[in-house]
Amino acid sequence: MDALVMRLSDTATSQPPTSSAAPTPEQTTSSASSPAPTGSLAQTGADATGWLLAGAGVLIAAGGGALFAVRRRRNAVEDDQTTG
| Per-residue pLDDT, 57 | 98
pLDDT higher at 83 or 13? 83
pLDDT single digits (tens) 16-41: 555 566 656 565 555 567 788 888 88
Q: What pLDDT digit, counting tens, does each position of 55-78 carry?
A: 999 999 999 999 999 999 888 888
As a whole number of angstroms, the distance between CA 32 and CA 5 comes to 51
- What is the rounded distance in angstroms from the CA atom of residue 12 to the CA atom of residue 76? 105
